[in-house]
Structure 1
Amino acid sequence: MPDARELRLWQVGRALTAAFVAAIVVAGGVFYGLVVVLDFRGIDKSAKLDANTLFDLVKLSFGVVAGAGALVALIVAYRRQRVDEAGAHREATRLHTERFTAAVEQLGSDSPAVCLGGVHALAGLADDAPDGALRQTCIDVLCAYLQLPFGPDPGDGRADQEEHHRYLALRKVRHTILRLIGDHYRRPAGTYRSWQGCDLDLSDVTVDCDMNFSGAVFSGATVSFSRATFSHGHVYFADATFSGGEVYFIGAAFSGGNVSFNGATFSGGATFFGGATFSGGEVDFTSAVFSGGDVIFFDAEFSGGTVNFDEATGRPPRLLLDALGTPVPASVVLPPAWTLPDA
Structure 2
Amino acid sequence: MAVSLRRDREALRGRYTPNLWPVWIVAPVALIAAGALGWVIYHYAYDHFAQAAADQEPPKPVNINDPLKATVTALTLIGAVLAGLYAYRKQLLAEGDAHRADASQLADRYTTAAEQLGHDQAAVRLAGVYALARLADDWAEQRQVCIDALCAYLRMPYEPDPTAPEHKAGEREVRQTIIRVIRDHLQQPDAATAWCERNFDFTSAVFDGGSFSTSHFRGTVDFGGAEFTGGRVDFRSTMFRGGRVTFGNAGFRGGRVDFGGAEFSDRVDFNGAEFSGGTVTFVRAMFSGGRVDFNDATLSGGTVSFPGATFSGTSFDWGPVPVPTGA
Length-normalised TM-score, structure 1 = 0.68
**For 2:295, which of 295, 298, 314 is the aligned residue?**
298
Deviation at 1:286, TM superposition (A): 3.8
User: Within the alignment, does 1:247 sit opposite 2:245 as a pair?
Assistant: yes
Query: Which residue is equivalent to 1:25?
Result: none
User: Within the alignment, does 1:146 sit opposite 2:136 as a pair?
Assistant: no
Query: Which residue is equivalent to 2:94?
Result: 84
Amino acid at match of 2:147: I
Amino acid at match of 1:169: G
Long gaps (5+) in structure 2: 1-7, 22-51
Per-residue CA deviation, residues 250-272 of structure 1 (Å, 9 max, x unaligned), is 1112333333434433334x432
Looking at structure 2, the residues matched to 311 and 153 of structure 1 have their Cα atoms a distance apart, in angstroms, of: 34
Deviation at 1:115, TM superposition (A): 1.7
Looking at structure 2, the residues matched to 291 and 298 of structure 1 have their Cα atoms a distance apart, in angstroms, of: 19
Cα contact 1:297–1:317 (8 A) shared by 2: no
Length-normalised TM-score, structure 2 = 0.71
Secondary structure, aligned partner of 1:185: coil
The residue correspondences of 1:168-247 to structure 2 (distance < 5 A) are 168-189=169-190, 191-192=192-193, 194-219=194-219, 222-230=220-228, 231-244=230-243, 246-247=244-245
Percent of aligned pairs with the same amino acid:
35
Long gaps (5+) in structure 1: 14-42, 339-343
Looking at structure 1, the residues matched to 256 and 60 of structure 2 have their Cα atoms a distance apart, in angstroms, of: 96
Q: CA RMSD in A?
A: 3.8
Cα contact 2:238–2:263 (8 A) shared by 1: yes
The residue correspondences of 1:252-331 to structure 2 (distance < 5 A) are 252-268=250-266, 270-303=267-300, 304-308=302-306, 310-320=308-318, 322-324=319-321, 328=322
Secondary structure, aligned partner of 2:264: strand
Aligned residues: 283
From the superposition, tell whether residues 152 and 75 of structure 1 become closer, same or farther in structure 2 (CA, over 3 Å). same
Query: Which residue is equivalent to 2:3?
Result: none
From the superposition, tell whether residues 70 and 257 of structure 1 become closer, same or farther in structure 2 (CA, over 3 Å). farther
Cα contact 1:294–1:317 (8 A) shared by 2: yes
From the superposition, tell whether residues 136 and 232 of structure 1 become closer, same or farther in structure 2 (CA, over 3 Å). same
Cα contact 1:189–1:195 (8 A) shared by 2: no
From the superposition, tell whether residues 217 and 146 of structure 1 become closer, same or farther in structure 2 (CA, over 3 Å). closer
From the superposition, tell whether residues 297 and 179 of structure 1 become closer, same or farther in structure 2 (CA, over 3 Å). same
Amino acid at match of 2:197: G
From the superposition, tell whether residues 60 and 259 of structure 1 become closer, same or farther in structure 2 (CA, over 3 Å). farther
Looking at structure 1, the residues matched to 16 and 289 of structure 2 have their Cα atoms a distance apart, in angstroms, of: 43
Per-residue CA deviation, residues 232-281 of structure 1 (Å, 9 max, x unaligned), is 2232251413213x32211112333333434433334x432211223444
From the superposition, tell whether residues 12 and 104 of structure 1 become closer, same or farther in structure 2 (CA, over 3 Å). closer
Cα contact 1:280–1:305 (8 A) shared by 2: yes
From the superposition, tell whether residues 54 and 88 of structure 1 become closer, same or farther in structure 2 (CA, over 3 Å). same
Cα contact 2:158–2:206 (8 A) shared by 1: no
Deviation at 1:225, TM superposition (A): 0.8
